Amino acid sequence: MDGSVRVRVPATSANLGPGFDALGLALSLHDMVEARTDRPGLTVEVAGQGEASAQAGEKHLVVRAMRETFGLLDGQPAGLALRCANRIPHGRGLGSSAAAIVSGILAARALAEGGAARLSAGAVLRLASELEGHPDNVAACLLGGLTIAWTGDGGARATRLSPLRTIVPVAIVAPEPLATETARDVLPESVPHADAAANAARSALLVAALTSAPGDLLEATRDWLHQPYRAGVMSVTADLVRRLREGGVPAVVSGAGPSVLAFLVRPASMSEPDLGPASWSAQAPATVSLNVLDSTMREMGIDWDISVLDVDRRGASIQSVTPGSVPAGGTPQ
């Protein structure tokens, strides 16, 4: 039987200010990947963001993740056809590479005979983290919600928390990409002890702010570890974050940038996800913050895309699957 699978994966924002390489948040912006094993050879189709990546062939990140997973399960399909419908911007700090990796791993696991039983959720996280290079984005993409990820002796691990439904993430998407390597290359090998201590306190406070005390979000999103050092390679981003924070908006660099993530708070009486900005009263803190955001961007003369999102609380999911003919092999270690 020839197999097919559809996987839905969310965008993510990592770091969230002080939680460098540890905190991640899943966002309600999604890529959809469909993979089939009923066609000979390899074909890749991409619609939406990153259309040019369709020409990458075996180097396409979803394909690479699928090949790695099939290899762990000791079976490669005779053919592979991939269709990607992408909404997550590439190279903007919103987890597009994590989404590609996670979708590829889950698609291959679903298509391989006995794959779901033989490749545990923990093994999926470890593999995704190895391919990505760090666990923060892939953890949030897999699990949804707010995640705390770390690497122990056995590889990547993560735990999931549920942010308050009144918290509204707003992605302010930069028009041009920035390579993650560029943003990482400017980071120092060591930082002052006082800065590390301050960041540790703010990271702990941020978890509390997102889950129980939203009034602390502005103070909780302060960072000393990475954003000051990256300002030189994303000056407009740094200026936007500074101005928003001076206006009372909890704003941070999204992941490695150059996009910005801001946190707004909708009225508690309007905490359902389908109640967007049009339903918020003029006196609501979220509405006031949106006005600050809009006026700040006008003052700066920038026209970046503003996406009022929600927290994706489901994480990556298999939308449909027809088991395929990819053979089973030995149990991966």
Paired residues of 27 in beta bridges: 11, 311
Domains defined for the chain, CATH in brackets: 4-161+313-322 (3.30.230.10), 167-308 (3.30.70.890)
Q: State pTM to two decimals.
A: 0.91
Task: Please tell me the distance from the alpha carbon of residue 292 to that of residue 244, in angstroms, as a whole number.
Answer: 7
What span, in angstroms and rounded, lies between the C-alpha atoms of 181 and 119? 30
| CA 19 to chain CA mean position, Å | 14
* Chain center to CA of 99: 7
Strands 41-48 and 167-173: unpaired
Determine the average pLDDT of the residues in 45-60: 92
φ, ψ of residue 180 to 5 degrees: the values are -60, -35
Average confidence (pLDDT) over 242-268: 93
Give the pLDDT confidence of 161-219 residue by residue, as tens digits.
999 999 999 999 999 999 989 999 999 999 999 999 999 999 999 999 999 999 999 99
Could you list the beta-strand ranges (E) of 135-282: 146-152, 155-161, 167-173, 251-253, 260-265
At residue 54, the pLDDT reads: 87
Mean pLDDT calculated for residue range 231-253: 96
Please, which pLDDT band fits residue 329 given cuts at 50, 70 and 90?
very low
Averaged pLDDT score across all residues of the chain: 91
**Phi and psi dihedrals of 122, rounded to 5?**
-65, -40
C-alpha–C-alpha distance, residues 76 and 47, integer Å: 25
Give the tens place of pLDDT for each residue, 297-327: 999 999 999 999 999 999 999 998 886 655 5
How high is the pLDDT of residue 333? Answer: 34
Structure confidence at residue 331 (pLDDT): 38
Q: Which of 161, 137, 136 is nearest to 151 (CA)?
A: 136
Q: Who has greater pLDDT, 331 or 22?
A: 22
